[in-house]
């Protein structure tokens, strides 16, 4: 069952988990989940006309696929990007679903246009902060929005300038960032995965864990290292 009727973030997480595991969706799953997500478009609490989480998600935040907890406006924004991505993964041809996704795209594009008008922001691959930028990249990687190559390359290039001394990046959640980089077929992304390699190698070789997020991180580490 993909749908959690009290949590948009957990519904999106179930879709991401199936995709990550390579499990095909049944036609019924795809249709039901897509229509349910689409029904959350522009409800109270939705970011920029995207898809709204439930009151508990807005007050306590959400947990990303890779285990990091995100709160406040960032949670609303990332949930909108991730829900849009989930709809694209489901590939449902339905008028209401299509209209909801188009409306969400329009809202996000307006946000990107405002960001581009800010003279302090000269990088089209960034949006307000590190964690929200990765949410943007994930949506772009699924085929959403516009200028995907320019935005993704700009984002990956920016990471080089914010590397920290622990094989990660300042203000960018490590595992969520690695998740996006592992799907990005660009030399700039590969360079950042090489930077992260020592942390990835330590994680990949740890004993198996009972924690779902630890298992995901371990599998992600293995996949990311395989790209080097």
Same structural domain for residues 57 and 100?
yes
pLDDT value at 60 more than 90: yes
Is there a single domain that holds both residue 95 and residue 20?
A: yes
Euclidean distance between CA atoms 86 and 103, whole angstroms: 15
Q: What is the pLDDT of residues 22-36, one digit of tens each?
A: 999 999 999 999 999
Residue 142 and residue 98 share a domain: no
84 and 135 part of one domain: no
**pLDDT grade for 121, boundaries at 50, 70 and 90:** confident
3-class secondary structure, 70: strand
Domain count across the chain: 2
Residues 110 and 140 in one domain: no
Residues 59 and 159 in one domain: no
Band of residue 208 on the pLDDT scale cut at 50, 70, 90: confident
Question: Do 27 and 71 lie in a common domain?
Answer: yes
* Domain coverage including residue 64: 1-117
pLDDT over 90 (residue 227): yes
The residue written with tokens 């694209």 in the block is 88
Tokens standing for residue 168: 């990660």
Q: Among 92, 117, 142, where does a domain finish? A: 117
Do 106 and 31 belong together in one domain?
Answer: yes
Same domain? 197 vs 102: no
Model confidence at 202: pLDDT above 90: yes
79 shares its domain with 167: no
What's the mean pLDDT in 19-48?
97
Band the pLDDT of 116: cuts 50, 70, 90: confident
191 burial (CB, 10 Å; 0-12 / 13-18 / 19+) is middle
Residues 90 and 141 both lie in one domain: no
What is the Cα–Cα distance from 18 to 1, expressed in whole angstroms?
A: 11
Largest Cα–Cα distance in the chain?
49
Mean pLDDT, the chain, rounded, equals 97
Whether residues 83 and 161 fall in one domain: no
Residue 118: is its pLDDT beyond 90?
A: no
Tracing tokens 């799953």 back to the chain, one arrives at: 29
CA distance linking residue 147 with residue 108, whole number of Å: 13
Domain-terminating residue out of 100, 117, 134: 117
């Amino acid at each position: 069952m993909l749908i959690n009727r009290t949590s948009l973030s957990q519904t999106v997480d179930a879709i991401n988990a199936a995709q990550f595991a390579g499990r095909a969706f049944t036609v019924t799953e795809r249709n039901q989940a897509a229509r349910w997500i689409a029904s959350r478009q522009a409800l109270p609490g939705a970011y920029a006309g995207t898809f709204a989480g439930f009151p508990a998600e807005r007050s306590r935040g959400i947990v990303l696929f890779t285990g990091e907890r995100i709160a406040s406006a960032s949670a609303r924004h990332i949930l909108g990007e991730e829900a849009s991505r989930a709809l694209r993964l489901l590939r449902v041809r339905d008028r209401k679903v299509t209209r909801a996704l188009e409306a969400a795209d329009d809202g996000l594009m307006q946000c990107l246009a405002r960001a581009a008008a800010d003279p302090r922001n000269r990088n089209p691959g960034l949006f307000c902060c590190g964690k929200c930028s990765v949410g943007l990249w994930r949506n772009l990687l699924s085929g959403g929005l516009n200028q995907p190559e320019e935005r993704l390359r700009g984002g990956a290039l920016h990471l080089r300038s914010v590397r920290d001394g622990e094989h990660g990046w300042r203000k960018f959640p490590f595992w969520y960032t690695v998740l996006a980089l592992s799907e990005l077929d660009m030399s700039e992304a590969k360079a950042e995965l090489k930077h992260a390699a020592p942390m990835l190698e330590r994680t990949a070789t740890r004993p198996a864990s009972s924690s779902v997020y630890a298992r995901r991180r371990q599998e992600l580490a293995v996949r990311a290292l395989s790209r080097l």
